[in-house]
């Protein structure tokens, strides 16, 4: 990464300019709020930051060279804005470099399939050909073990077959009610049967005190590879995660091409594929958080943390999960450094690693920096996509709303008109990096965004690409974050940490407990 970050830095330094926004009616005469608006909405760098992260650096899988390259680039960007930054190692992870891969149907007809190697999958030694077989449904151990020899030398389809890859909304709009209900009922029956089989299959491969996976059992039986599909329910969207094999390749196929192979195999029409998978196992490698800091002038031992996870899955570019959140925090920091360079409290920007593996980077930071957690005035975390911030929970802190509403009152109505507050709310136990701080009772706010079909189309899918970034909304969120940070820094009082009485769980009748802080994993081995 000696040349690439510097070259990218030059390109990003040429910020795009946007025409003046509509005249704003500011709720205060505060010149800093006006200047934050002007810098964030009229001189934004959000496009440049997001385009480089999404397109040039690309997805930042934990342990990948791209993640390390992104860390180095981010430090250079912060320093170009006059903000000291560092990459702080918190552990190691399984290093892996993705290469070129193909899955081609060669019998009974020729078609290059829409397929992507799963993260950390083993590669192949050149081309590998094999027949395709579908994993049957089983009622127990004996049936499974009797079938396993069938897997030898073959590529095995291991996911639920979808009878249609057409979203339900399309079917309901254009089909008859009877046809949709018939399809839906048949699909539910098939799903229930498949899930029952999966439960039986997992019991069938239990060995000693551990449970082997379906994939490892197939690997031991001599299968040539594993073919999966995780349809999101949207047109052309497939969720792509990680492999569970150590010696044979694992691929995710589109709903449509998985269905093609499954129908050919189920109807004894002899599907054969040719597979090539280039991948490099890099062993256990260091992994980092990128930490930047604008030191406080009056209360340097009190902190405001701008929080977003920097790692992504690598089925696409990782734009809405979570390049957009990283852009918001980087751009907010740039705006603040230019407009409000001497904050009263210290502003820390945390671009966390390995969130997708269990909030590891942020949990490690919280464990390694108890002084920051103890001195927290506020954490602002953004994770769930590209839309405008629309909901902010007080996370169960009963005294937080008095402060947050005061901060929000200084923000122009063009931003606040979209925001709903949840008071007092409940603390989040997981899901994103806010959980690493709220568990200790530190004031933590998740800046939750409008949906933009996030879960149907971009969350962990092959479609999470730069074109999905909604620039106006990202600019809005960065400007909001900068304004909230300024107000939290200027607040003469600390946000109290009083906790609500937790509600009763309606399913169990037991009172919920405040989430406990968890120690992070420090390596891929545990």
Task: Check: pTM over 0.75? Answer yes or no.
Answer: yes
**Residue holding tokens 């081995």?**
525
* Predicted local confidence at residue 141, as pLDDT: 86
Task: Write down the pLDDT at residue 481.
Answer: 98
Distance of CA 467 to the CA centre of its chain: 17
How far apart are the two ends of the chain, measured CA to CA in Å?
28
Euclidean distance between CA atoms 369 and 440, whole angstroms:
13
Q: State the average pLDDT for the chain.
A: 93
Question: What's the pLDDT score for residue 40?
Answer: 98
Number of C-beta neighbours around residue 84 at 10 A: 12
What would the pLDDT profile of 91-144 be if each residue is shown by its tens digit?
999 999 999 999 999 999 999 999 999 999 999 999 999 999 999 999 988 999
Cα pseudo-dihedral 177, 183, 186, 188, rounded to 10:
-80
Supply the pLDDT for residue 3: 34
User: Using an 8 Å Cβ cutoff, are 288 and 309 in contact?
Assistant: no
> Which ranges of the chain have pLDDT less than 50?
1-22
- Separation of alpha carbons 70 and 310, rounded Å: 8
Q: How far apart are CA 442 and CA 181, in angstroms?
A: 49
Respond yes or no on whether the N-terminal peptide bond of residue 218 is cis (omega within 30° of 0). no
Q: What are the phi and psi torsion angles at 524 (to 5°)?
A: -70, -15
**What residues contact residue 226 under an 8 Å CB cut-off, 6+ apart?**
155, 156, 158, 215, 218, 219, 243, 244, 245, 248, 249, 250, 251
The residues facing 287 across adjacent strands are 91
* Residues in contact with 168: Cβ distance below 8 Å, sequence separation at least 6, in sequence order: 180, 184, 233
Distance in angstroms (rounded) separating the CA atoms of residues 299 and 306? 17
Encoded tokens for 280: 């490099």
* Rounded-to-integer distance, Cα 179 and Cα 161, Å: 19
Q: What is the pLDDT of residue 89?
A: 98
Domains of the chain: 27-94+284-490 (3.40.630.10), 109-270 (3.50.30)
pLDDT of residue 17: 34
Render pLDDT for 457-476 as a digit per residue (tens, 0 to 9).
999 999 999 999 999 999 99
């Amino acid at each position: 990464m000696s040349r690439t970050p510097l070259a990218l830095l030059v390109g990003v330094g040429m910020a795009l300019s946007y025409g003046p926004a509509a005249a704003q009616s500011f709720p205060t005469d505060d010149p800093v709020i006006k200047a934050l608006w002007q810098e964030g909405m009229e001189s934004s760098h959000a496009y440049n930051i997001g385009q480089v992260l999404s397109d040039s650096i690309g997805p930042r899988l934990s342990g990948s060279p791209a993640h390390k390259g992104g860390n180095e680039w981010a430090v250079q960007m912060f320093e170009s804005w006059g903000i000291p930054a560092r990459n702080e190692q918190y552990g190691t992870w399984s290093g892996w470099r993705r290469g070129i891969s193909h899955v081609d149907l060669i019998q009974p007809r020729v078609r290059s399939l829409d397929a992507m190697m799963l993260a950390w999958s083993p590669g192949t030694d050149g081309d590998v050909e094999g027949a395709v077989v579908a994993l049957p449904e089983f009622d127990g151990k004996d049936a499974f073990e009797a079938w396993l020899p069938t897997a030898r030398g073959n590529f095995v389809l291991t996911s639920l077959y979808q009878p249609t890859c057409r979203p339900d909304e399309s079917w309901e709009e254009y089909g008859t009610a009877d046809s949709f209900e018939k399809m839906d009922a048949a699909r539910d029956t098939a799903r229930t049967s498949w899930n029952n089989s999966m439960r039986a299959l997992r019991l069938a491969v239990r060995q000693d005190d551990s449970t082997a996976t379906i994939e490892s059992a197939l690997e031991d039986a001599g299968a040539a590879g594993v073919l999966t599909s995780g349809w999101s329910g949207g047109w052309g969207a497939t969720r792509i995660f990680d492999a569970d094999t150590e010696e044979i390749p694992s691929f995710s196929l589109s709903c449509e091409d998985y269905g093609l192979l499954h129908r050919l195999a189920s109807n004894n029409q002899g599907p054969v594929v040719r597979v090539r998978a280039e991948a490099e196992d890099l062993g256990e490698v260091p992994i980092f958080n990128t930490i930047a800091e604008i030191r406080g002038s009056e209360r340097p031992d009190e902190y405001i943390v701008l929080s977003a996870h920097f790692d992504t899955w690598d089925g696409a570019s990782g734009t809405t999960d979570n390049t957009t959140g990283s852009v918001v925090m980087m751009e907010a920091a740039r705006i603040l450094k230019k407009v409000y360079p001497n904050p009263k409290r210290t502003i820390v920007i945390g671009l966390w690693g390995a969130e997708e593996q269990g909030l590891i980077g942020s949990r490690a930071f919280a464990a390694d920096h108890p002084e920051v957690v103890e001195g927290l005035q506020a954490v602002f975390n953004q994770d769930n996509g590209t839309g405008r911030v629309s909901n902010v929970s007080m996370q169960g802190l009963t005294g937080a709303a008095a402060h947050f509403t005061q901060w929000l009152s200084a923000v122009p109505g063009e931003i606040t008109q979209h925001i709903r507050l949840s008071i007092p709310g409940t603390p989040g136990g997981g899901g994103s990096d806010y959980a690493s701080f709220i568990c200790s009772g530190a004031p933590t706010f998740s800046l939750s965004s409008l949906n933009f079909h996030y879960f149907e189309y971009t969350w962990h899918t092959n479609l999470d690409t730069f074109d999905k970034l909604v620039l106006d909304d990202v600019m809005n969120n960065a400007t909001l974050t900068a304004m909230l940070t300024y107000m939290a820094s200027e607040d003469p009082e600390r946000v109290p940490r009083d906790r609500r009485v937790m509600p009763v769980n309606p399913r169990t009748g037991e009172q919920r407990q405040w989430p406990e802080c968890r120690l992070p994993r420090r390596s891929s081995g545990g």
